[in-house]
Amino acid sequence: MKKKLIISLLTLAFAAPLLAQTWIWYPGDYELWLGNKMNNRRTERGTFFPPFWKMASHYVLVEFSKQIDLLQPEEIEIAVEGKYNVKLDGKLQFGAPKKLLLSAGKHSLNIKVHNQATPPAIFVKGKSVNTDASWKVTFEDKEWIDESGKASDTSATVYMAAGCWNFNTPQELPSQFRLAVEKQSAVSKKELASGELIDFGKETFGYIIIKGLTGDGIVNIYYGESPEEAQDTEHCETLDKLQIKGTSVINLATGVSTPLLNGEYTLDNNKAFRYVYVTTEKGVQFSDVSMLYEYMPEEYRGSFRCNDEEINKIWDVGAYTMHLTTREFFIDGIKRDRWVWSGDALQSYLMNYYLFFDSESVKRTIWLLRGKDPVTSHTNTIMDYSFYWFLSVYDYYMYTGDKAFVSQLYPRMQTMMEYVLGRTNKNGMVEGLTGDWIFIDWADGYLEKKGELSFEQVLFCKSLETMALCAKLVDDKEGQTKYNGLASALRAKLEPTFWNESKKAMVHGCMNGKQSEAVTRYSNMFSVFFNYLKDDQKQEIKHSVLLNDSIMKITTPYMRFYELEALCALGEQNAVMKEMKAYWGGMLREGATSFWEKYNPEDKGTQHLAMYGRPYGKSLCHAWGASPIYLLGKYYLGVTPVKEGYKEFAIKPVLGGLKWMEGDVPTPKGKIHIFMNKRFIKVVAGEGSGYLYFTTTRKPKVSVGKIEEVTKNSYRLWIDTKEEVIVKY
Amino acid sequence: MKKKLIISLLTLAFAAPLLAQTWIWYPGDYELWLGNKMNNRRTERGTFFPPFWKMASHYVLVEFSKQIDLLQPEEIEIAVEGKYNVKLDGKLQFGAPKKLLLSAGKHSLNIKVHNQATPPAIFVKGKSVNTDASWKVTFEDKEWIDESGKASDTSATVYMAAGCWNFNTPQELPSQFRLAVEKQSAVSKKELASGELIDFGKETFGYIIIKGLTGDGIVNIYYGESPEEAQDTEHCETLDKLQIKGTSVINLATGVSTPLLNGEYTLDNNKAFRYVYVTTEKGVQFSDVSMLYEYMPEEYRGSFRCNDEEINKIWDVGAYTMHLTTREFFIDGIKRDRWVWSGDALQSYLMNYYLFFDSESVKRTIWLLRGKDPVTSHTNTIMDYSFYWFLSVYDYYMYTGDKAFVSQLYPRMQTMMEYVLGRTNKNGMVEGLTGDWIFIDWADGYLEKKGELSFEQVLFCKSLETMALCAKLVDDKEGQTKYNGLASALRAKLEPTFWNESKKAMVHGCMNGKQSEAVTRYSNMFSVFFNYLKDDQKQEIKHSVLLNDSIMKITTPYMRFYELEALCALGEQNAVMKEMKAYWGGMLREGATSFWEKYNPEDKGTQHLAMYGRPYGKSLCHAWGASPIYLLGKYYLGVTPVKEGYKEFAIKPVLGGLKWMEGDVPTPKGKIHIFMNKRFIKVVAGEGSGYLYFTTTRKPKVSVGKIEEVTKNSYRLWIDTKEEVIVKY
């Protein structure tokens, strides 16, 4: 019975609603527009604080087209965001028609839209003619007529497949998109000398609501991820200042005036907080503070449970951290930047593949991070972040199998790589030039950023390999040869340039042909899971670097992500489990309700809140804090795609010291369910087929299929059924 | 007395109001934004008809900055279009301050603005701190802080001098700019069987006003540049259809609903017309039709009068044609495209230098035509139009002396030229590739567009020379060497490739190394006034091509512009005077109240109205129709700048068969007045100094200065006074 239930649920998951018609736009354009809105919502103590990189914009004039062949006449409805015209079989229709009758037979339908403020977008609904990704779109339709009125060759026009998301009715205007909201109450209030401290019980995000407002004067709202921050009116990172004037409220931070209805006012701008401290000038009173929680509706398609409740808590808080930072885009953290950063986003994508499997959010974020040509700087101005961007595309393809997206994006991958290649030195390596931010990590010690850094070359090499893979995917043979050549040449230089045989490690960098003395973890970690070194070298690195306390420690969950990934890749799941409990468990013991931007176990008390020279500069809800989601899914449940979109998977479950674990890993249209304890493994693979790998010194038995022994005590089992498979081992 | 009066008027002209504070923006961005509005106003029979080339957009996030040193404290007012922050000495100010008190001493002031819908723009007014072109602006401020809060090197940020126009008060928001309007009445009305034909007496432009509207139903407005067009409801080029519904009017063409006030309705969209034909469905009545004339306020700083009243009329109608087509930008024609086309604009600029000397409109138009990087096609998709764009920049510099503009634009000139150079063939010549429109001219005969066309190479060569000149101007030594090299190489190929000694002419083109049989006027004309051939060749061309009736005739005023310029450059002012009277006089005799897009004297009746396979396709008010304005100023009054901005001028007046002529040629801050008859020449040069050239067989006398004989009967006189100079000759 149980088995059957699982299967029928999976069947439901497959049956995504088949809505043919949806709003369409120039691919990437809506994403850039929405991203600009997102990136321009940051405030610092009541002041607008936008990014410092170039923002791209949508094409303001776009033509949509579709070739149609109708068996019967049909009427179509047309909805448009922008000023537009409609051309049927080359003939302009009067005005801006909202309906159009198409006769049976072949037609060409063209809709041209101009919109400066929001992306040109159209929605067409008919019986068979419906807007979707099969429509073509161009920003330059090179359509000329000569003096006699004859149309010239239009073959020069470059068309793209239209972009879309999930706006499936004419009323859901893409430009009006808002995240979901839900009223929530505070869990406690405390009257203090000069104000009221309200606690919402855990890290959250949304719009503060103040009720029972009366009188004229000022209300100050100080937000805090900690009670210290909220009450420190001079240093808290975010605040609002309201001027109550009779029947209206002006937010002096934003300048927005809102009518006061029945004494209730909802803030016009959203914030991250657990605590708010509200003070008033005399003459103003309020009765209650609550909130409108704002969130991206997400289905938790991944799951994890085990015998260790601390690990379960880590997974839950990780998932919540991911949910809070998964907004219009995958952002860094909800309090401070609220920006889309490529290095942060890459980790969000990877966690997402083991949690929401929300591919649309991945695509949106990748579009936004790329912007448009000409490329005038690295992604977010950071060299490493350009490289992560390349890596994200092929990752996305492997997890989703969505080749169409790679095809749409590939031209911008090429121009991005041209930018990088235009800045290489005589050795074909990248070095920080004027305008490049070399980030690597927030480190407590000194990090050299000049010269040829091994970390940047490793990422660069992987980026070139990614370009070659994507070139192959889109059948760009010339590109494939070029990028493969560049990748091989660079790869061949990595070991001779950076490997130090006496240190048994990659050194941090190389300047004027001379290796630096310093060894840092970064390039060593990446070389391990990129397989850039020989097996014995990797094992050496484990001891000389990864498990060596004299090498500068990593204090951000950001780089711990890769550090622990490297250890898992070396089979150190037991050690990593302990690390997770110590590090993420450490944050929980400090009272974390979401994971942090940085955590140094050696810090004490309010030291945990400080960063960037500011007492509350640190973000206490940072996407990169949630990496156990990824590690537990990929290296414990052990599920990865072997072929794109999980056409073939690999399952290598590892208990890593746990007694039992159980969980789901989502796939494009289904999920893979695992249960494992020390005696048996149960797998229900809802999509794809692939090998289950396991080791045992006993003789394993299986309910379905045939176990093969790969090496001594190592086995594999081909799973090609959607039924439950039980292996006793 | 008269002399004195002239001088004091000139003094007034110099004293432009000194308004330090003005709205500023990223240079070119406002221009692109306004241009998109302009280019998207075309309609065709009630349907929106946008351009088919890529439209660029403003940067949506921009930072403005200024270094300040104050002797005394002062308060500044800040007005902004967009969401913004203000940073004083690196410290963010709370909210979005509208006022700021600056203490005495040094400060750095930064204002960062985000605006998606309209260009980010700011206006700062203080006692000494005021926004103007001395402010710096960037779209990418590369300003990082490290984990400790320390700001990183920002030297990578690329700043530009801010752009501005004439919005000099905080209330004049750049985004709200509109042309001037003025109510005007019709000159006659005629009741016809099914409607009323209203005549406004001459070609005009604006918004139709209908008064005394009563009832419910449809009112149709058919516009015509001719009575035939207005009355041909099936074929007129533009129309509107109004639905009167109680107290509101819906324009069914635009979908815009407007309240009906006292029975009066003003159209929501503007049109070109002389005639309107208004029909109603039963149930609707109206009492009167008038208009709101819309225009760019311009001062007619150039003038021309002579003994020939037909020439005077040609000048007046030319000036009116120029005025109608000088709108937010220099557009092609007011009825149909209403777009900004580079080839058309180049002629408008040149005419403008002899009429309005409106440099702001030239700059706006040049910015708009260039768009932004990446370059994905030729200007307006037309190869020749890219070349005209290059030419326009140096022309502008020569007439105005405005080096700052060339500096702002130079980076975009470089990338535009990179695009062109990326499309040359193995001979370093341009040929039409996929996506290139080779225009040349609307011709009544066949024009080969394939292969190496002599016309395109001549323009390409001049463009390279222009690049070299501009490179020198902005001190780009590398660019200067490069472009000079390319220009010389191409120049050296022109004669060997295209000159045909037996034809005594440049042939039309060359394919696979073989000269074409055809000779056309285009490259021959341009080679004459670009001085690309030897003097004897130029004289040969005069007879073998320019004055040879067997060479395909030019039927557009567009190319007649250059044809007559070539003849003037060869000293054929008498012949050109006859041509002007025949050709432009011919249009006047056909009843023209503005000059046309095309005029073939051999056409009859309504043939004059047809073009593009449509009975009223031709524009009867086309900027390129107005070339006598340019020819009379440059080749009869004979005034040209020898050094940039008329620091040095040359005056070579030629009566060309007239008995006398008198006129003004504007200079950046003044004007040069000429009177000439067969006995004396009077010059008042309000700005600059330079030579007056003239020929006479008599012995000339002068009131001021010293005449030099250059060659037999040829004289020159250095004029270095603002007083009137009289030469008897």
Beta strand pairing call for B648-651 and B689-695: parallel
Q: Does residue B91 sit at the A interface (CB-CB below 8 Å)?
A: no
Report the top-level CATH class of B303-636.
mainly alpha
With contacts defined as CB-CB under 8 Å, which chain A residues touch B139? 54-55
A262 contacts chain B (CB < 8 A): no
The residue among A60, A88, A112, A616 with the most chain B CBs within 10 A of its CB, best to mutate, is A60
Mean pLDDT (whole number) for B601-611: 95
Residue with tokens 């379905």: A704
pLDDT-derived band at B607 (thresholds 50, 70, 90) equals very high
Q: Are the Cβ atoms of A612 and B145 closer than 8 angstroms? A: yes
User: Which letter does DSSP use for residue A606 in this model?
Assistant: G
* Interface test mutation site (partner A, options B94, B115, B160, max chain A beta carbons within 10 A): B94
E-only strand ranges, B59-194: 61-70, 74-81, 83-88, 91-92, 99-102, 105-114, 121-125, 136-138, 160-161, 163-164, 180-185, 188-192
For A253, which DSSP code?
T
B contact residues 158-217, partner A, Cβ 8 Å cutoff: none
Of A370, A30, A295, residue with least CA distance to A176: A30
User: Is the predicted pLDDT of residue A15 greater than 90, yes or no?
Assistant: no
pLDDT score of A150 more than 70: yes
Checking if the pLDDT of A493 tops 50, the result is: yes
A267-276, A415-424, B18-27, B542-551: least confidently modelled range: B18-27
ipTM of the complex: 0.93
- Is the CB of A139 inside 8 Å of chain B's CB atoms? yes
pLDDT digits (tens, 9 = 90+) for A241-294: 999 988 899 999 999 999 999 999 999 999 999 999 999 988 899 999 999 999
Interchain pair A155, B373: CB under 8 A? no
Could you give the C-alpha distances from B502 to A81, B499, B517, B519, B684, in angstroms and in order?
A: 62, 9, 11, 12, 48
Would you place residue A20 in the very low, low, confident or very high pLDDT band (cuts 50, 70, 90)? Answer: confident
A357 φψ region: left (φ > 0), alpha (ψ -120 to 50), beta (else):
left
First to last CA, chain B: 25
The CATH code for residues B180-295 is 2.60.120.260
Q: Which of residues 380-399 of A touch B (CB under 8 A)?
A: 381
Give the model's pLDDT for residue A153. Answer: 59
The one-letter amino acid at A192: L
Minimal Cα distance from A158: which residue of B? B435
Strand partners, B84: B113
Q: Quick one: pLDDT at residue A351? A: 98
Spell out the residues 6+ positions from residue A126 whose beta carbon is closer than 8 angstroms to its own. A74, A75, A76, A77, A102
Residue B152, pLDDT score: 66
Q: Which long-range contacts (CB under 8 A, 24 or more apart) does B2-5 make?
A: B3/B684, B3/B723, B3/B724
Question: What phi-psi label fits residue A714: left (phi over 0), alpha (psi between -120 and 50 degrees) or beta?
Answer: beta
| Cis amide leading into B374 (omega within 30) | yes
At residue B483, the pLDDT reads 98
Question: Average pLDDT of B660-665?
Answer: 98
- Does the beta carbon of A252 lie under 8 angstroms from any beta carbon of chain B? yes
Classify domain B19-176 at the CATH superfamily level: Galactose-binding domain-like (2.60.120.260)
DSSP summary character for residue B574: H
Give the list of residues 6+ apart from residue A324 with CB closer than 8 angstroms, or none. Answer: A203, A204, A205, A272, A295, A334, A594, A621
What percent of chain A stands above pLDDT 90? 92
Place of tokens 């991005």: A416
**B603, amino acid identity:** D
Indicate the angle between helix axes B359-370 and B29-39, nearest 10 degrees: 80
Instruction: Return d(Cα B341, Cα B333) in angstroms, integer.
Output: 10
The radius of gyration of chain A from alpha carbons, rounded to an integer in Å, stands at 28
Q: Which residues of B touch A381 (CB under 8 A)?
A: 142, 144
- CA angle (A177 as vertex; A176, A181 as ends), nearest 5: 120
Check residue A385 and report its DSSP letter.
H
Query: Would the pLDDT of B4 be above 90?
Result: no
Contacts 24+ apart (CB under 8 A), B648-651: B648/B688, B648/B689, B648/B690, B649/B685, B649/B688, B649/B689, B649/B690, B650/B690, B650/B691, B650/B693, B651/B683, B651/B685, B651/B690, B651/B691, B651/B692, B651/B693, B651/B719
The pLDDT of residue A6? 38
Task: Convert A524-561 to b/e letters by CB count within 10 Å (16 or more is b).
Answer: bbbbbebebbeeebbebbbebbbeeeebbbbbbbbbbb
The verdict on A254 touching B (C-beta cutoff 8 Å) is: yes
pLDDT at A144: 74
Any B CB within 8 A of A473 CB: no
The pLDDT tens digits of the residues spanning B25-67 come to: 999 999 999 999 999 999 999 999 999 999 999 999 999 999 9
- The token duo for B122 is 């700011």
Average pLDDT, chain B: 94
Q: Please indicate whether the domains covering B19-176 and B640-728 agree at the CATH topology level.
A: no
Q: Is the pLDDT of residue B19 over 80?
A: no
Residue ranges covered by each domain of chain B: 19-176, 180-295, 303-636, 640-728
Burial of A360 (0-12, 13-18, 19+ CB in 10 A): exposed
- Partner residue opposite A48 with nearest CB, options B84, B144, B147: B84
Distance CA B547, CA B529 (A): 16
**Chain B nearest C-alpha distance from A617 (Å):** 9
- Judged by a CB distance cut-off of 8 A, whether residue B151 touches chain A is no
Nearest alpha-carbon partner for A599 in A607, B701, A104, A2: A607
Task: Name the nearest CA neighbour of A43 among B98, B78, B93, B145.
Answer: B93
List the structure tokens of A151.
């149309």
CA atoms lying within 13 Å on the CB side of residue A275 = 20
Does domain A639-728 fall under CATH 2.60.420.10? My reply is yes
Burial class of A719 by CB neighbour count within 10 A (0 to 12, 13 to 18, 19+): buried
Q: What is the second-level CATH architecture of the domain B640-728?
A: Sandwich (2.60)
User: What H or E segment, with its residue span, contains residue A559?
Assistant: helix A557-569
- Looking at the complex, does the CB of residue B54 fall below 8 Å from at least one CB of chain A? yes
Cβ atoms within 10 Å, residue A255: 15
> Are the beta carbons of A538 and A510 closer than 8 angstroms?
no
Residue for token pair 């020279």: A613
The answer to whether A623 and A330 have CB atoms below 8 angstroms apart is: yes
Q: List, as one string, the DSSP characters of A560-587.
A: HHHHHHHHHHTT-HHHHHHHHHHHHHHH
Shortest Cα distance, chain A CAs vs residue B179, angstroms: 20
**What's the Cα-to-Cα distance from A39 to each of A208, A281, B85, B693, rounded to whole Å?**
21, 33, 15, 64
- Quick check: B222 pLDDT over 60? yes
What mean pLDDT do residues A581-590 have?
97
A138 membership: H or E segment, kind and range: strand A136-138
- Lowest model confidence (mean pLDDT) among A60-69, A123-132, B1-10, B542-551: B1-10
> Is the pLDDT score of B2 beyond 60?
no
Residues of B in contact with A48 (CB under 8 A): 83-85, 96, 112, 114
Task: Determine contact: B705 vs chain A, CB below 8 A.
Answer: no
Distance, in Å, from the CA atom of A349 to the CA atom of A330, rounded to the nearest integer, reads: 8
Which chain A residues have a beta carbon less than 8 Å from that of B33?
Answer: 116
**A615, A226 in Cβ contact below 8 A?**
no
Contact A94 B46 (CB under 8 A): yes
Q: If pLDDT is split at 50, 70 and 90, which confidence band does B155 have?
A: low
> What is the pLDDT at residue B154?
58
- b/e burial code for range B364-391 (CB count within 10 A of at least 16 → b): bbbbbbbbbbebbbbbbbbbbbbbbbbb
Amino acid, single-letter form, for residue A60: V
Residue A158 has pLDDT above 90, yes or no: no
- Tell me the sheet residues that pair with B354: none
Separation in Å, CA A173 to CA A122, A170, A295, B295: 9, 7, 19, 37
For the cut 90, the answer to whether the pLDDT of residue B142 exceeds it is no
Task: Kindly give the pairing relationship between strand B701-702 and strand B707-711.
Answer: unpaired
B154 Cβ neighbours under 8 A, 6+ residues apart: B141, B142, B143
Give residue A19's pLDDT.
52
Contact A685, A6 (CB under 8 A): no
Residues of A within 8 A of B152 (CB-CB) are 437
C-alpha to C-alpha distance for B501 and B45, rounded to whole angstroms:
51
Contacts of range B482-485, beta carbons closer than 8 Å, 24 or more positions apart = B483/B417
In a mutational test of the A interface, the residue from B29, B30, B38, B48 whose CB has the highest number of chain A CBs within 10 Å is B48
Residue ranges in A624-700 assigned as alpha helix (H):
628-631
Cβ of B254 under 8 Å from any chain A Cβ?
yes
Radius of gyration of chain B (CA): 28
Quick one: fold of A21-176?
Jelly Rolls (2.60.120)
- pLDDT for A521-576, tens place per residue? 999 999 999 999 999 999 999 999 999 999 999 999 999 999 999 999 999 999 99
What is the percent of chain B with per-residue pLDDT over 90, rounded to a whole number?
Answer: 92
pLDDT of residue B704: 86
Question: What whole-number distance in Å separates Cα of residue B222 and Cα of residue B279?
Answer: 8
**Mean pLDDT of the A693-700 span:** 96
Residue A378 and residue A309: Cα distance in Å, rounded? 42
Closest CA to B370 of B401, B347, B348, B340: B340
> Does the beta carbon of B152 lie under 8 angstroms from any beta carbon of chain A?
yes
Average pLDDT rounded to a whole number, residues B510-525? 96
Q: What is the rounded CA–CA span in Å between residue B440 and residue A106?
A: 36
Q: How far apart are alpha carbons B339 and B32 in whole angstroms?
A: 13
